Amino acid sequence: MGPFTNTRIIFSILIFACLGALMNSFLLKIAKRYKTINQVLKHKYLRWIIATSLAISLILIVANFYVYYGFDYQPDIYRRGSLNSNQVTLTFDDGPSREYTAQILDILKEKNVKATFFMVGSHVEKYPEIAARIVDEGHEVGNHTYHHVNVPTLTQSKLTAEIIGTNKIVRQVTGETPTYLRPPRGMYDARYRRLAHLIGQEIVLWTISGRDWKKSTSASNIIARIVNKSKGGEIILLHDSGALIASEGGDHNALIQALPKVIDGLREKGLEIVPLKDFIDEAKGEDITHFEFNLVE
């Protein structure tokens, strides 16, 4: 903070200006080559508007990457397991839901798989019996905030309430305190990491998403995405509730159809599906042997 903030702002403006200028000259080059595009791009202001939009899009793409990977050393965040192992783990976000969680639990029981459910506090409050069943059947639980909110946009007190409130309701309903935290949409910040450290919960992201929340998806899409791509060390993200925008509901029938085949497919590839607790014992975030909690932001 302090003087660094100003440096950061100046640095960001400089990068933005350079990118804008770069895009502008890029557009000029394109205009020279194609006549029809030239008609549009010869208007100076229009060209700058397009160049600015391109620069903004590029920055957003980079920011999106930053949100997931961060620029700094983050030993406190689990993104994958050991690449040398043949183990993968299944995680389900956004539940519990009335329609789908029970069906998923039936499949997991039949296939003898233990998974982790990153639950939304308000959904636990709504469907306490389903949350209790998850724990009764030996699955692990994670905290996915109380209202499925974007962590970086919250005030400190709201952020604390989202995390502590979810731990409290999960504990009340299931008798277990969540071991893990997962921020909605993978968006976290330094305060979230500090809080996780303080209350002793591990932040767990994912490596492969089944994109099962997509309306247009199908069972075969989900199977292909996960089974074809998976290698050892994969943290697989699926959803027992939620859609693109809504944190609850959505149509998860494709996942229900796909799940038994996903489990079989992973096993046929020689991958072992293990609970998260066994999985992250093997490999820590970035390098746990030199764990130091030293956040400057």
Catalytic positions: 93, 239
**Looking at beta carbons only, is 94 or 162 nearer to Zn ion?**
94
Only one residue has tokens 């149509």, namely 251
Q: What does the binding site for Zn ion look like in residue numbers (CB under 5 A)? A: 93-94, 184
CA-based Rg of the chain, rounded to a whole angstrom?
22
CB 47 within 8 A of CB 27: yes
Least Å from the CB of residue 229 to Zn ion: 21
CB of 144 to Zn ion, least distance (A): 6
Q: What are phi and psi of 251, to 5 degrees?
A: -105, 115
Beta strand 77-78 pairing with 208-209? unpaired
Q: How far is the CB of 54 from Zn ion (least distance, A)?
A: 30
Residue number, 120 or 271, with CB nearest to Zn ion: 120
Nearer to Zn ion, 142 or 232 (CB): 142
The three-state DSSP-derived secondary structure of 181-247 is ECCHHHCCCHHHHHHHHHHCCEEECCCEECCCCCCCCCHHHHHHHHHHHCCCCCEEEEECCCCCCCC
Instruction: Give, to the nearest 10 degrees, the angle between helix 128-136 and helix 156-174.
Output: 70
Judged by beta carbon, residue 87 or residue 217, the one nearer Zn ion is 217
Which of 59, 243 has the CB closer to Zn ion? 243
CB of 20 to Zn ion, least distance (A): 34
For residue 129, the one-letter residue type is: E
For strand 272-273 and strand 235-239, is the pairing parallel, antiparallel, or unpaired? unpaired
Beta strands 180-181 and 87-93 are unpaired
How far apart, in whole angstroms, are the C-alpha atoms of residue 89 and residue 78? 12
Question: Smallest distance, Å, CB 237 to Zn ion?
Answer: 9
